[in-house]
Structure 1
């Protein structure tokens, strides 16, 4: 039964908070911490990309490679932010509906991108 004196639930997005039952707050807080970890990872990628562009001024003749690597890092940062929100929404909905938590396809994508950028950086360091 709903309480007529209770304030209406104004949480957003309604597609998440309007379904199922309230999960144990510990699970929701853990989901939020995971979201924040993905955001921190995205900020790290963005920072590395901007730093690489800045440092590229010190290495003449390698602008294309450093800009390519920087662009990949910045793209990873943006993807991390988008993936963080999508993952939080899917996980919160699964918690509310009592379903298993979904996996994230972004983990192998970001790992692969980081390996490629590291290989480009290694080639830049070893090239004469």
Structure 2
């Protein structure tokens, strides 16, 4: 695990394996990484907005729970983004199959479930 984390911060180690790929593949991998970071930042912004601007909700500490869930999810996305970028870059350099990931599906389900729960809260509050 620590070796994988070390790769995030040491570009020389990453470049020491395999051969230099077509730069377009590395740039596409970087764009994907940046898209994931934007997603993480949006979740963090949503968590801060929930903490600051949501009115008190019917259930005790629900507003705080929503904010914390969004903040944790945003942090998870950011960490997952850099790990996936490093693993993908390594696979590209080695000519291996790109790493598969269930994370996009898990993230999509988490966002959908969160949205549905918020719909329920809005409907209950409106009654």
TM-score by length of 2: 0.83
Contact 1:49 1:74 in 2 (8 A): yes
- Output the CA distance in 2 between the equivalents of 1:60 and 1:95: 48
- Output the CA distance in 2 between the equivalents of 1:97 and 1:78: 29
Aligned to 1:18: 16
- Output the CA distance in 1 between the equivalents of 2:21 and 2:83: 19
Contact 2:46 2:67 in 1 (8 A): yes
Does 1:29 pair with 2:27?
Answer: yes
Contact 2:26 2:89 in 1 (8 A): yes
Aligned to 2:52: 54
Quick one: structure 1 residues 54 and 111, their matched pair in 2 at CA, closer, same or farther if it must change by over 3 Å? same
Larger radius of gyration: 1
How many pairs does the alignment contain?
117
TM-score by length of 1: 0.83
- CA deviation vs aligned residue, 1:37-63 (integer Å, no higher than 9, x gap): 00000000000111011122x335445
- Output the CA distance in 1 between the equivalents of 2:72 and 2:53: 18
- Output the CA distance in 2 between the equivalents of 1:62 and 1:121: 12
- Output the CA distance in 2 between the equivalents of 1:125 and 1:59: 12
Contact 1:69 1:120 in 2 (8 A): no
- Output the CA distance in 2 between the equivalents of 1:35 and 1:60: 35
Unaligned runs of 5+ residues in structure 1 are 1-10
Contact 2:88 2:99 in 1 (8 A): yes
Unaligned runs of 5+ residues in structure 2 are 1-8
| DSSP-derived class of the 2:61 partner | helix
